[in-house]
Amino acid sequence: EKELVILGIETSCDETAAAVIKNGTEILSNVVASQIESHKRFGGVVPELASRHHVEQITLVIEEAMKRADVHFEDIDAIAVTEGPGLVGALLVGVNAAKALAFSRNIPLVGVHHIAGHIYANRLEKEMKFPLLSLVVSGGHTELVLMEEHGSFKVLGETRDDAAGEAYDKVARTLNLPYPGGPHIDRLAQEGKPVIDLPRAWLEEDSYDFSFSGLKSAVINTLHNASQKGLTIEPKDLAASFQESVIEVLVGKTVKAAKAYGVKQVLLAGGVAANKGLRTALEEAFKGIPQIELVIPPLYLCTDNAAMIGAAGSILYEMGKRSELTLNAYPGLDI
Ligand code: KG4
Ligand code: ZN
């Protein structure tokens, strides 16, 4: 039977990435050029800088992915590219590279939603079983997504303000930790004790929405009040307390939704899925619910990459999705 070989391209934020995926689940290559070092000194991603780096890197990254996979453009059945959401100038670099290749080599083009990509990262590890629930936690998104079949995404709840990763990065900044702060808070939290009282944003009884801005403010106020009183707060204890609050709500709502919708699987997705505390807490919670399979991707598939875009693109291609050469970048695209 004929193989399906997809070239995936991802440039929605600060990683320039390309990957080659065979038959939807096999990673032939997965190249990620991170820009973190360039953005670090500004304390966050600078959109103009991100676009410029993508322009410098995109051709090299695609060539490297093709070389490592040992394939030529004649072998590529389709090019899958992140069309949104993300930074418009960053997205455009990937979209234009994909369009140029699709046009010049006469290869079908498939636009992929970034969050669909994060969810499909799991398919590179485990077969998907429907209905499934995905907890998507990244720098830009916090969502509970129900999937009843391939390509169908129903958002049960989402953040009303900051994304989980954004809250991690902002709290890290108040503790003078480098960008991106998530991994630093995670590491500190393992060392500290959650002894500081911080709020949990459960919101309305029946809501699967999230909110993290109140928690972030509570952390800032705690530090401010302590310094006014001449008290010192251990950063590791504050990190542990913050992390406990985030995780309690994320895990609590995920378990509740998973039971309510009778899902077969729960998939963790997005950059914050790399969080050790969250991974452990989810494992603990689902240990007691054997009828639901918990799938947690390896760290390199959690943060932005193109293997996940190739994985999602493979399914969309098989479902018949094709994008026109007029494909644009859609910064606020809904899933
Ligand atoms: O998915 P991603 O690479 O990019 C977006 O699509 O946003 O996620 C990046 C986010 C950042 O906010 C980063 O701080 C967070 O993921 N992150 C973590 C950890 N590793 C990355 N947050 C908490 N704990 C971690 N270990
Ligand atoms: Zn992402």
Tell me the C-alpha distance between 183 and 217, whole Å: 20
Q: Which atom of ligand 1 is nearest to the CA of 12?
A: 6
* Reported confidence tier of residue 240, pLDDT bands at 50, 70, 90: very high
Q: Which atom of ligand 1 is nearest to the CA of 274?
A: 26
Distance in Å, CA 303 to ligand 1 centroid: 6
Of all protein residues, the one whose alpha carbon is nearest to atom 7 of ligand 1 is 139
Cα-only R_g, the chain = 20
Tens digit of each residue's pLDDT (9 = 90 or more) over 108-161:
999 999 999 999 999 999 999 999 999 999 999 999 999 999 999 999 999 999
Tens digit of each residue's pLDDT (9 = 90 or more) over 252-271:
999 999 999 999 999 999 99
DSSP of 76-101: --EEEEEEESS-HHHHHHHHHHHHHH
Domains of the chain: residue spans and CATH: 5-119+302-318 (3.30.420.40), 130-296 (3.30.420.40)
Nearest to 327 by CA among 47, 48, 50, 78: 78
> What is the CA angle 59-62-63, rounded to 5?
85
Residue type, 293: E
pTM of the model: 0.95
The residues facing 113 across adjacent strands are: 84
Q: Which atom of ligand 1 is nearest to the CA of 166?
A: 12
Tell me the C-alpha distance between 333 and 167, whole Å: 22
Say if residue 24 carries a ligand binding annotation. Answer: no
Is 66 a residue whose pLDDT tops 80?
A: yes
The interface predicted TM-score of the complex, written ipTM, equals: 0.98
Of all protein residues, the one whose alpha carbon is nearest to atom 8 of ligand 1 is 271
Is 287 a residue whose pLDDT tops 90?
A: yes
* Reported confidence tier of residue 42, pLDDT bands at 50, 70, 90: confident
* Alpha carbon distances (Å) from 273 to 74, 318, 321: 36, 28, 28
Say if residue 118 carries a ligand binding annotation. Answer: yes
Give me the half-sphere count of Cα atoms (radius 13 Å) on the Cβ side of residue 182: 25
Ligand 1 pocket, Cβ-based, cut-off 6 angstroms: 13, 138-140, 165, 168-169, 180-183, 186, 270-272, 274-275, 303-304
